[in-house]
A and B are shown apart, each in its own frame.
Chain A
Amino acid sequence: MRHATKVAAVVAAAALGLAACGSSSDNTPAGSNTSAGSTGTQAAGKKIVVGIAYGVGGRGDQSFNASAAVGLDKAKADLGVEFKEATQVNGESEAATEERLQQFIDAGATHVIGVGFAYAKAIGTVAKANPDVKFAIIDDASPDSAGANVAQLTFAEEQGSFLVGAAAALKSKTNTVGFVGGVATDLIKKFEAGYIAGAKAANPSIVVKSQYLSQPPDFSGFNDPAKGKTAAEGLYQGGADVVYHAAGGSGSGVFTAAKAAGKLAIGVDSDQALTATPDVRDVILTSMIKKVDVAVYDFLKSGAAGTDITGNKVYDLKAGGVDYATTGGKVDDIKSKLDDYKQKIIAGEIKVPTAP
């Protein structure tokens, strides 16, 4: 026992020693960087330091967060921005979320990006406390996150979904198509609304069947391939021969079901004919691409040029924020029709609804 106490005392002392080192090296980066940030505001091509806070899943989620990371990497290559990354911890307190953003600023960040609407409140609060730092939030345009130094980057998912809806209707032989939504949030309902509108535009008599995997605040529907598979199986058995999923990680289950049924599926967010597991890629008709990377890159590029984006910026078809994918060549024969719809949406001739 006496021996253990001795060891304990030694290590406790060592720990205190480490603590001392920590606190002395702690203050230098914060002090030097904030001053650098505030001096070069006007100069074009100025040095910007980015703090990017991913949602749960982080850079390696092969989907939404990964897309943001692509934009960041491009900004690093093209603009030479420095960046620091962090990922949200599941179930953490609002204070911890805010602290993460504040830590970036302490570490010298001039631009802070919150990937996903879970950062909305935190961005709003931290932006108010740090008026010299520029902020961006993806997928939120609520008053929670609004501020003079905040860019709210949202997407016209309904427009991209319209195009894949039209593609589904044009390819359907059973006159029935399906939709699988991850979680029944307003955001995912935008996908559904656009998809239905597109399908009806291409074929007014088409039947569209929709199914959601979970209801908020249960967000498991975004990450439950088994649920996605069951829902898609139901839709295929119900006569649908093309199913579009807006269900994040659950989408792989939809592809598996499509493969088993010998039917088609439509991917979401990234070009999934390139990112899905190779054995199911041949069932992917097209994908609705949501270019989070473009939004992130734009925000940083304008930041580097000294013309920061603020307010709500909607990335629609016109801005190249959403699109349909042509990988695999399955939509080559209807490409002219889809491009025609695209032009009409861009010109404002077709107004796509945002709620089903």
Chain B
Amino acid sequence: MSTFSPRKLLLAVAAPVLALVVAFLVTSAILLLLGDPVVEVWQTILSWPKPRQLVQIVNGATVYYLSAVAVAVGFRMNLFNIGVDGQYRVAVFAGAAFAGQAWFPGPLNVLLTIVVAMVAGGLWASIAAYLKVRRGISEVISTIMLNAIATGVVQWLLLKVAVKQQGSNSISTKPIPESSQLDGLGLIPGATNKVYTLILLAVLVGALYWFVINKTRFGFDLRATGRSESAAVASGVKVPRMVVTTMIASGALAGLIGMPLLFGQDHSYGTTFQAGLGFAGIGIALLGRNHPLGIAAAALLWSFLDVQSNALQIRAGVASEVVFIIQGVILFAVVIAYELIRRADVRLEQQRVARELAATRSDAPTPEGATA
């Protein structure tokens, strides 16, 4: 099964493509029903982005990618960390508060802030890990609850450390010093804005994720637990320890989500900081099938839709929220499509085996082949 075949590749690509087509049709139907201009909507969404918008797409995807990898780590061992949203908010707040103090010079401040954020995210996730291992509480329930608690905790702490600016009504942590603000990389020619420097962090995280999951003992144990917990236990995997480690790793990765925004865009954490990134990550991990490259493609698609929908109100007179319908339908459809493709794959495999068996039987009958 692990050997590469063109058929498998085709089937892997077919599911997302099918999902996109379904999303296209369903959204068009909804637009038609509501009497909105269908053609203009698609013209706006599918138009080629300007260089400036390309940068925004890459930047948005960077943040989504980190979020989806954080979720995917848990998914690989059937651990549903729904709490990435709370974990990243706790982490980015802790990071922003730390960075704003400017205790360390320039790049060192950036590096240590990333560590602080990872620790904060990991610690927050460890609560859910403890509850699951010691008290048998489903991580789905506890992380959802912890999201709500994170909202309260961050609000309360933000009020304590917020700096007031004359004439302003928004509140935020102390801005990080200029020496620690990352100007960005001029990767896309003709754009006035720049790609987040911390896209490098996302690439690094993606590579590490691939390596750890596929090439290490830990990754093997993790996948084994995900496939079958009882089989993993039987082969000597300490499942509770895996749960704790994976949950904390997922939380620590969640801690990275806000970092590109903090250093490359907002420079502080406050009322206008982007929300809901953790939930977006769940969908993107699902769409990307927890694969490091699949997630990258899914994150780019999500970000593309986000950026392209911004113009909808202005150019087509349709609310940007249309894009949420598209994204929702894509997710819904992709889950169904994966299942359909899986069944088709099984059927094709059965046919192939049957054909080969028939061929061998006509040559020389072998009883072992019958069990396949």
Binding site for B on A (CB under 8 A): 1, 4-5, 7-8, 11-12, 15-16, 18-19, 21-23, 25-26, 51, 84-87, 89-97, 99-100, 102-104, 106-107, 117-118, 120-121, 129, 139-144, 152, 154, 185-187, 215-219, 312
- 9 sampled A-B residue pairs with Cβ under 8 A: A5-B10, A15-B42, A19-B47, A86-B313, A95-B193, A96-B310, A102-B52, A215-B159, A216-B271
Cβ distance A185 to chain B, nearest Cβ, rounded Å: 5
Q: A94 to B59, Cβ gap below 8 A?
A: no
Cross-interface CB contact of B271 among A5, A106, A187, A219, cutoff 8 Å = A219
Cβ distance B297 to chain A, nearest Cβ, rounded Å: 15
Given contacts A4-B14, A5-B14, contact A87 B53 (CB under 8 A): no
Given contacts A99-B53, A186-B169, contact A4 B314 (CB under 8 A): no
Binding site for A on B (CB under 8 A): 10, 14, 17-18, 20-21, 24-25, 39, 42-44, 46-48, 50, 52-53, 56, 59-60, 63, 151, 155, 158-159, 162, 164-171, 192-193, 261, 265-266, 270-276, 306-307, 310-311, 313-315, 319-321, 341, 344
Chain A residues with CB under 8 Å of B319's CB are 87
Given contacts A104-B314, A117-B170, contact A143 B165 (CB under 8 A): yes
Chain B residues with CB under 8 Å of A102's CB are 52
Cβ distance B230 to chain A, nearest Cβ, rounded Å: 34
Cβ distance A132 to chain B, nearest Cβ, rounded Å: 15
Among B17, B164, B168: residue with most chain A CB under 10 A? B168
Chain A residues with CB under 8 Å of B21's CB are 7-8, 11-12
User: Closest chain A residue to B196 by CB distance?
Assistant: A95
Cross-interface CB contact of A93 among B155, B162, B274, cutoff 8 Å = B274
- Give 16 A-B pairs besides A86-B320, A102-B52, A120-B168 with Cβ atoms closer than 8 angstroms: A4-B14, A18-B46, A22-B47, A87-B320, A91-B274, A96-B307, A99-B307, A100-B314, A107-B314, A117-B169, A121-B170, A142-B167, A144-B168, A216-B155, A216-B159, A217-B171
User: Closest chain A residue to B310 by CB distance?
Assistant: A99
Among A25, A129, A142: residue with most chain B CB under 10 A? A142
Main secondary structure, interface of B, reads: helix
Q: A91 to B276, Cβ gap below 8 A?
A: yes
Q: B18 to A87, Cβ gap below 8 A?
A: no
Once bound together, how far apart are the Cα atoms of A15 and B41, in whole Å?
12
Once bound together, how far apart are the Cα atoms of A107 and B319, in whole Å?
17
User: Closest chain B residue to A9 by CB distance?
Assistant: B17
Chain B residues with CB under 8 Å of A91's CB are 274-276
Cβ distance B120 to chain A, nearest Cβ, rounded Å: 18
Once bound together, how far apart are the Cα atoms of A103 and B170, in whole Å?
24
Q: B167 to A8, Cβ gap below 8 A?
A: no
Q: A22 to B44, Cβ gap below 8 A?
A: yes
Once bound together, how far apart are the Cα atoms of A139 and B159, in whole Å?
21
User: 4 closest pairs, A vs B, by CB?
Assistant: A22-B47, A91-B275, A142-B168, A141-B167
Given contacts A117-B169, A216-B159, contact A94 B265 (CB under 8 A): yes
Q: A18 to B265, Cβ gap below 8 A?
A: no
Q: B170 to A120, Cβ gap below 8 A?
A: yes
Once bound together, how far apart are the Cα atoms of A94 and B151, in whole Å?
20
Cross-interface CB contact of B56 among A22, A86, A99, cutoff 8 Å = A99
Chain B residues with CB under 8 Å of A22's CB are 42-44, 46-48
User: Closest chain B residue to A183 by CB distance?
Assistant: B169
Chain B residues with CB under 8 Å of A1's CB are 14, 341, 344
Cβ distance A136 to chain B, nearest Cβ, rounded Å: 15
Chain A residues with CB under 8 Å of B50's CB are 106
Chain A residues with CB under 8 Å of B341's CB are 1
Chain B residues with CB under 8 Å of A19's CB are 46-48
Chain A residues with CB under 8 Å of B266's CB are 94
User: Closest chain A residue to B321 by CB distance?
Assistant: A89
User: Closest chain A residue to B308 by CB distance?
Assistant: A22
Cβ distance A123 to chain B, nearest Cβ, rounded Å: 12
Once bound together, how far apart are the Cα atoms of A18 and B43, in whole Å?
6
Once bound together, how far apart are the Cα atoms of A217 and B170, in whole Å?
8
User: Closest chain B residue to A109 by CB distance?
Assistant: B314
Chain B residues with CB under 8 Å of A312's CB are 167
User: Closest chain B residue to A152 by CB distance?
Assistant: B167
